[in-house]
Amino acid sequence: MNARVGCEVDACEEIAVQQCTNCGRALCRGHTVADYSHLPGGQRPYCTDCDAERRQVYRRVRAQGLRAIAGSAAGAVAGSAVGYLAGVVVTSASFTHTVTTDVGFIAGMSIGLVAALRLGPR
């Protein structure tokens, strides 16, 4: 980074020391958000605007993930119950009950996951 370049955030008059990884703006130390050591490749500096956008995306993804877990769990329980009852109606063999319960579990979990991801808010 050229030492003569000024920070490009909010008409700041400080000298820029880094560039935003996302938008490429020149940043001074005060406008750099660089606490991302958990990311592959180490720290990546972001400007405050790009960092706020990144946090908003993470919040949406986290909510969608929790909705997917809840939907698939509910579908798995319902599918297991339906599968077991279907096995009991068809035959009295315990192996058939096991197979239909397992198939119901997998089908219910899949349907619950797809429904949670499609029907949930975006």
Distances in whole angstroms, Cα of residue 84 to Cα of each of 75, 94, 106:
14, 10, 13
Q: Give the pLDDT confidence score for residue 2 in this predicted structure.
A: 45
- Is residue 62 assigned to a domain? yes
- Is residue 11 assigned to a domain? no
Contact 53, 21 (CB under 8 A): no
* The token pair that represents 53 in the structure block: 């956008």
Q: Give the pLDDT confidence score for residue 107 in this predicted structure.
A: 93
Give the count of domains, the chain. 1
- Is residue 101 assigned to a domain? yes
The residues, ordered by sequence, that sit 6+ positions from 24 with a Cβ below 8 Å of its Cβ are none
- Is residue 10 assigned to a domain? no
d(CA 64, CA 68): 6
- Is residue 46 assigned to a domain? yes
- Domain containing residue 36: 18-119
d(CA 114, CA 11): 47
Phi, psi of 6 (to 5 degrees): -90, 160
- Is residue 71 assigned to a domain? yes
In this structure, is the dihedral angle defined by the CA atoms of residues 25, 26, 28 and 32, taken in order, positive or negative? positive
- Is residue 12 assigned to a domain? no
Indicate the pLDDT class of residue 110, thresholds 50, 70 and 90: very high
- Is residue 99 assigned to a domain? yes
Q: Give the pLDDT confidence score for residue 35 in this predicted structure.
A: 63
The predicted-structure confidence for 12-69, as pLDDT tens digits, reads as follows: 888 888 888 888 888 888 878 766 555 555 567 888 888 888 888 888 888 888 888 8
Fill in the DSSP letter of residue 37.
T
